[in-house]
């Protein structure tokens, strides 16, 4: 019967927790950071080996963050408690990123809005509908995923979209969604949803400044195209 090498059997300089304490978290690989979060492995696999299995099942951090508790728990050595622990840590990281966005980003052109979301959205394999909430000076206050799936009126309801906008006292919004095909050309459904949300925004006194459609390294602004 073959047993794994335990982390505590590794030289101290190679143990993820000790390396993080000595060198800081930026010195650790994704595998090492996951092992630190997991804390322990199983009788047959160290925390590092369980982290390896996680990365095989979910090759990118984005895929890991979008997984459910149930999906994570299918990986050997990951129970529901560890799955919840991992997702909580990733959600905190996401909220930190959203906070940094709100502090730094001023929108003065469609390109500014596209720059904020392009890297995160251009490779997604499903349509994600996102809103950027802006203050009166057009600085981004928050970024929120409204829906995931094919864009249609039932998935993006004005009541749900503007509820958080009103709660944050946002003065304006920019709508963003991606086309997994890589072609950002707007569809009739895209235009219909945009018109519906823009009309709802007018009734609430909230400006829908633009709708950015993200493709592979390119985007379309409905405002620039005269479609909004």
Q: How many domains does the chain have?
A: 2
Host domain of residue 49: 7-100
Share the mean pLDDT of the chain: 84
**Is 1 among the domain residues?**
no
Q: How many CB atoms lie within 10 A of CB 117?
A: 21
Q: What is the pLDDT of residue 65?
A: 84
Domain boundary among 58, 81, 100: 100
CATH number at 30 reads 1.10.150
Residues 122 and 206 in one domain: yes
Residues 125 and 76 in one domain: no
Q: Using 50, 70 and 90 to split pLDDT, how confident is the model at 4?
A: low
Residues 118 and 184 in one domain: yes
Q: Please give the residue that has the higher pLDDT: either 223 or 39.
A: 223
**Is 154 among the domain residues?**
yes
Domain boundary among 50, 69, 100: 100
CATH number at 137 reads 3.40.140.10
**Is 90 among the domain residues?**
yes
Whether pLDDT at 106 is above 80? yes
Q: What is the pLDDT of residue 1?
A: 36
User: What is the distance between the alpha carbons of residues 198 and 176, in angstroms, rounded to a whole number?
Assistant: 13
Percent share of the chain, pLDDT over 70? 87
Q: Using 50, 70 and 90 to split pLDDT, how confident is the model at 5?
A: low
- Please indicate, yes or no, whether the overall pTM of this predicted structure exceeds 0.75: no
Residues 182 and 115 in one domain: yes
User: What is the distance between the alpha carbons of residues 151 and 126, in angstroms, rounded to a whole number?
Assistant: 10
Residues 12 and 42 in one domain: yes
Give me Rg for the CA atoms of the chain. Answer: 21
Residues 75 and 123 in one domain: no
Q: For residue range 9-49, what is the model confidence (pLDDT) as tens digits? A: 565 556 778 888 888 887 888 888 888 888 888 888 888 88
Helix spans in the chain (H): 16-23, 30-38, 47-57, 61-66, 69-72, 80-104, 110-121, 158-167, 188-204
């Amino acid at each position: 019967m073959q047993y794994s090498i335990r982390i505590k059997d590794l030289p101290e300089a190679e143990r993820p927790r000790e390396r993080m304490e000595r060198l800081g978290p930026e010195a650790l690989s994704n595998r090492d950071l996951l092992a630190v979060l997991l804390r322990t492995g199983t009788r047959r696999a160290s925390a590092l080996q369980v982290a390896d299995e996680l990365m095989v099942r979910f090759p990118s951090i984005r895929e890991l963050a979008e997984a459910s508790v149930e999906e994570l728990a299918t990986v050997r050595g990951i129970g529901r408690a560890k799955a919840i622990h991992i997702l909580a840590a990733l959600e905190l990281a996401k909220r930190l990123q959203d906070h940094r966005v709100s502090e730094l980003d001023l929108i003065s052109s469609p390109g500014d809005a596209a720059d904020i979301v392009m890297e995160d959205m251009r490779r997604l394999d499903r349509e994600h509908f996102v809103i950027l909430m802006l203050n009166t000076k057009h600085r981004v206050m928050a970024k929120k995923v409204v829906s995931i799936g094919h864009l249609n009126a039932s998935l993006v309801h004005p009541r749900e979209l503007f509820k958080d906008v009103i709660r944050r006292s946002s003065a304006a919004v920019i709508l963003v969604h991606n086309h997994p095909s890589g072609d950002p050309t707007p569809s009739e459904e895209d235009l219909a949803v945009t018109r519906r949300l823009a009309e709802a925004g007018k009734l609430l006194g909230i400006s829908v400044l633009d709708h950015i459609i993200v493709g592979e390294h390119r985007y379309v602004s409905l405002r620039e195209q005269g479609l909004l």
